[in-house]
A and B are shown apart, each in its own frame.
Chain A
């Protein structure tokens, strides 16, 4: 009788522990996603100022600046759809990178204090976005491990919790950067 009670107790504790652990990991994923959101918004806030500064000096980049502005608006519109939003933000990252390379052709712009500050801030925001994505992937890994490993996978199935996808870079970004091509654009 005592043995049965002990076994029952152990099972109950394991169930409670696994349930709480899964909820904890799920909430961490949401928190990490929220951090990416904050950093992406920070970047979005920088863009109007950046576009206005570059426009003054770099008339030939009008097309690129228009693309950046449009992608920013699109990303704001798609905030409710995670996959679409990440796609828009990835495209925006590419355009901004191209813009930063192209401004090398405008020495007056490079000497502008306001632009240099924006460029530096943008670089730091990109680093923070990268850190937020790494934190997101780490929290996804923790959740996926808990959902798939025994005995928490039993509880996860009952809770209808499934594995989530990690943040991955698009295929174009995996390729080696051709610096010559960048300058041609």
Chain B
């Protein structure tokens, strides 16, 4: 995979050291603050409660109630601090690292891509869905190419109890490096996987000429391709491009799908893991930053480099 233009961690390290140091100092301060608050709750339970019963003659129920209210108030402040700190770390580290890739990228830790954007690709059956959630939304320009990325959870049904999961994973939208007017979908081939030749025949029958049969047998086994233009589909899905899609499919156990429409590529990668995973207990060492922040972000841009989305071909200029 091509990664020559991507900054290495060593190059990124020098840019983020100060930010990491400040955030880690904040973490240590927060730990002391939380320890203090937990001591207060302990004190309330062990000292104030018996005192209130024996000294102030409160009944037990009132005493328990008083301790609970005080304890919950303290714990609320603790969780608020934890939440704010986690947000600050994610935002601070990710924006500092993104800046090393491109200064024109924005990061929203708690937002996701809009459902409308996802619906344009038509690779997830999201047009029946009305509930989209997610995080780690990145958008902006990378080497002149407009990209959008986020972790997504799409469900159907407004009521949380009755909702059906439609998609959980990562979603990338970027400008494609070739000019095309058609709409091509590369989807997981569950029909052929389960029904073999009969599955293939059913696909052929129902597709009404939109099914694309490609030369790569392994690609055909994994994916089913539909298009509104047979020639443009093959123009997009060159033999080398098919190889890259299969390499990406190997990395995601739950599979990937791709859509090409309106000059853009939509890529859906199913996974249950969020992009950035960070817990407040972990010190912000360089190893932790590399593993939890740099590597996931590097994967996104390595993907764009691998598919050469940043190389605008002459037909697109």
Contact = CB atoms under 8 A, between A and B. Distances in A.
Contacts of A79: none
Contact of B315 (A24, A28, A121, A132): A121
A124 B231 contact: no
User: Which of B212, B215, B238, B314 has most chain A Cβ within 10 Å?
Assistant: B314
A87 to B, nearest CB: 22
Contacts of A123: 313-314
Interface in B200-256: 209, 212-215, 230-235, 238
A120 B313 contact: yes
Contacts of A120: 313-315
Nearest to B215: A134
Interface residues of B, number: 16
Nearest to B178: A124
Contact of B230 (A32, A124, A127, A128): A32
A112 to B, nearest CB: 14
Interface size class of A (residues with CB under 8 A): 20 to 34
Nearest to A132: B231
A45 B212 CA distance: 29
A138 B232 contact: no
Contacts of A99: none
Interface string A73-106: 0000000000000000000000000000000000
Contacts of B315: 120-121, 124
A127 B314 contact: no
A120 B177 CA distance: 13
A127 B209 contact: no
Nearest to A119: B314
B144 to A, nearest CB: 16
B209 A135 contact: no
A145 to B, nearest CB: 10
A35 interface: yes
A131 B231 CA distance: 6
Nearest to A25: B209
A127 B231 contact: no
7 contacts: A120-B315, A121-B315, A124-B313, A127-B178, A134-B215, A138-B214, A138-B230
Interface of A: 24, 28, 32, 35, 39, 116-117, 120-121, 123-124, 127-128, 130-132, 134-135, 138-139, 141-142
